[in-house]
């Protein structure tokens, strides 16, 4: 091969390398844009839940934190843990449209319509997530998070390992947090010992035995996963001092004694605007307690 041919090959190689770099940069930009879109979608959807069903916003975040820890203990891959986390964050989004009182009322006190809506909420939640391509795997888990190990769950009465693993993990974590962190105005509340005893009784019944054994291990139910956790350092603020990104350290009540937002809720701008509007009529109990720990969100703990 003569010098001219060699130079030609080198030139082609350099040209290809340049195009590969350009494509790599383009792919990175596209990945960054997709990641930004995912984060925006999550913020929007969580903001909607916080506005219309405040109790479920904090509940979903705590369930997701516990699901994350279980996934790590089980050695689940990082990609699978991300899917599990998304499903846990949005596992109750199908509850939108159901009146708050129905969430805590005995089954016998509900209307037929309310019962049907509750039974349909796994599929409704999955249907809300499916149009977003990055949530399609999570949607499968959302649709199955009320299935039970013994086949007694809903909506498809799946049995044992026919239930996706992520959904089996969410099922246990969901019941743990839902029982432990009921609002004060709920008809019945439970201690952590009572909650764990219930989960133990359903080992091999409602729940996958392996996951129950993990939940019962000391140390797995760490900070942020239950009422028995130590509170982060907190400060008290007025409604006017709240800023987006702050995380509630305690439940927020209205003057009638009903919970408006639960602890661990990260405040979005729309939620703060709503609170400020309500406070013009002195409807919100002040002060409001927010966390000041480093992991609580962008502006958490900064005074106005």
> How many whole angstroms separate alpha carbon 58 and alpha carbon 62?
6
Of all residues in the chain, the percent with pLDDT exceeding 90 is 42
In this model, does residue 236 exceed pLDDT 70? yes
The angle that helices 136-144 and 165-180 make with each other, rounded to 10 degrees, is 60
State the pTM of this model.
Answer: 0.72
Classify domain 54-230 at the CATH topology level. Answer: Hypothetical protein af1432 (1.10.3210)
What's residue 10's pLDDT? 53
Task: Report, in angstroms and rounded to the nearest whole number, the Rg of the chain calculated over CA atoms.
Answer: 23
The architecture of the domain spanning 231-304 is: Alpha-Beta Complex (3.90)
Give the pLDDT band of residue 3 (cuts 50, 70, 90): low
Task: Provide the CB-side half-sphere exposure for 237 (13 A, CA).
Answer: 25
| pLDDT at position 294 | 42
pLDDT in tens, 162-203: 999 999 999 999 999 999 888 766 778 899 999 999 999 999
Residue 222 phi/psi, 5-degree rounding, is: -85, -165
Length of the chain: 304
- pLDDT value for 159: 98
Is residue 53 very low, low, confident or very high in pLDDT (cuts 50, 70, 90)?
A: confident
Domain boundaries, given as residue ranges, for the chain? 1-52, 54-230, 231-304
126 pLDDT band, cuts 50/70/90, is very high
Strand, helix or coil for residue 140: helix
Distance of CA 227 to CAs 51, 125, 172, 176, 179, Å? Answer: 22, 26, 16, 11, 10
């Amino acid at each position: 091969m003569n010098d001219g041919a060699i130079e030609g090959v080198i030139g082609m190689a350099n040209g290809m390398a340049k195009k590969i770099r350009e494509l790599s940069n383009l792919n990175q930009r596209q990945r960054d844009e997709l990641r930004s879109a995912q984060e925006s979608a999550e913020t929007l959807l969580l903001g909607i839940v916080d506005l219309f069903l405040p109790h479920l916003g904090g509940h979903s975040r705590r369930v997701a934190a516990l699901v994350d820890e279980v996934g790590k203990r089980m050695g689940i891959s990082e990609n699978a843990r991300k899917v599990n986390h998304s499903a846990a964050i949005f596992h109750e989004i199908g509850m939108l449209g159901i009146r708050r009182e129905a969430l805590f009322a005995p089954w016998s006190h509900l209307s037929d319509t309310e019962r049907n809506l509750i039974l349909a909420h796994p599929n409704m939640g999955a249907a809300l997530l499916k149009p977003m391509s990055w949530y399609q795997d999570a949607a499968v888990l959302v649709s199955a998070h009320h299935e039970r190990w013994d086949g007694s769950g809903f909506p498809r009465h799946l049995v044992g390992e026919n239930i996706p693993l992520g959904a089996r993990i969410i099922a246990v974590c969901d019941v743990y947090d839902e029982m432990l962190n009921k609002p004060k105005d709920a008809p019945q509340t439970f201690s952590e010992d009572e909650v764990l005893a219930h989960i133990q009784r359903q080992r091999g019944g409602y729940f996958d035995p392996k996951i129950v054994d993990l939940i019962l291990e000391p140390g797995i139910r760490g900070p942020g996963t239950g009422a028995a956790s130590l509170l982060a350092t907190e400060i008290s603020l007025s409604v006017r001092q709240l800023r987006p990104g702050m995380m509630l350290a305690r439940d927020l009540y209205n003057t009638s004694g009903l919970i408006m937002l639960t602890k661990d809720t990260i405040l979005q701008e729309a939620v703060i605007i709503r609170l400020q509007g309500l406070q013009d009529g002195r409807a919100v109990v002040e002060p409001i307690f927010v966390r000041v720990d480093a992991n609580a969100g962008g502006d958490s703990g900064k005074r106005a």
